[in-house]
Chain A
Amino acid sequence: GQNIDQPTEMTATEGAIVQINCTYQTSGFNGLFWYQQHAGEAPTFLSYNVLDGLEEKGRFSSFLSRSKGYSYLLLKELQMKDSASYLCAVNQAGTALIFGKGTTLSVSS
């Protein structure tokens, strides 16, 4: 079986830091992706983790613990434009991705 869990919704204020968690149970693991999706638009790539640890890319960082089946996306210095859905996806085997349901983040001023 396979299961990817994320919180449904989160709220935060401009300038703050927010952490979006993702836990997964899959029969295989070839890496974990985070995508951002603004309302009415296509998903766009944010990060990829295949080894344990933290990957930093500007205001966004992503962490992976394979032994715990756990990842998080950390967003710093939040801006209004960061209001979007954040999708966690696992490459279980081969080239196809299994997506979680996504976390809708609302940033207020």
Chain B
Amino acid sequence: NAGVTQTPKFRILKIGQSMTLQCAQDMNHNYMYWYRQDPGMGLKLIYYSVGAGITDKGEVPNGYNVSRSTTEDFPLRLELAAPSQTSVYFCASTGQGVGYEQYFGPGTRLTVT
């Protein structure tokens, strides 16, 4: 199993551009998450999904959108990128929900200038 994969690994965006961060998992997990991690600030939940067709907002959803059309894929869309969205983005998944570990992807380092 590849586990959780994310693309791209690095990206530089100009202010106002849009992009999609890709996340896929091959573990047949129902639950998937998007986090952002700023230096010294820990992980903040952006959006999460408990299954195909179901998504919900986390702590910091503004400026982002998600979709979950399949169990495997959970892309994160940034519209009108802003410098405040410069961060490292992690996707994670878990099969059981409460009480089970989340498996993290390797992350996408995004810079908006």
Contacts and interface: CB of A to CB of B under 8 A. Distances in A.
Interface residues of B, number: 26
Contact of B98 (A8, A31, A43): A31
A91 interface: yes
Interface in B58-111: 58-59, 90, 94, 97-107
Contacts, number: 57
A101 B39 CA distance: 9
B40 interface: yes
Interface residues of A, number: 23
A87 B42 CA distance: 8
Given A43-B104, A48-B99, A48-B101, A96 B42 contact: no
A43 B93 CA distance: 12
Interface of A: 8, 30-31, 33, 41-45, 48, 50, 87, 89, 91, 94-102
Interface of B: 31, 33, 35, 40-45, 48, 50, 58-59, 90, 94, 97-107
Given A95-B97, A97-B102, 15 more contacts: A30-B98, A31-B98, A33-B101, A42-B90, A42-B106, A43-B43, A43-B104, A45-B102, A48-B101, A87-B42, A91-B99, A95-B31, A96-B45, A98-B45, A99-B35
13 contacts: A31-B99, A42-B107, A45-B102, A87-B42, A95-B48, A95-B94, A95-B98, A96-B48, A97-B33, A97-B43, A98-B45, A99-B44, A102-B42
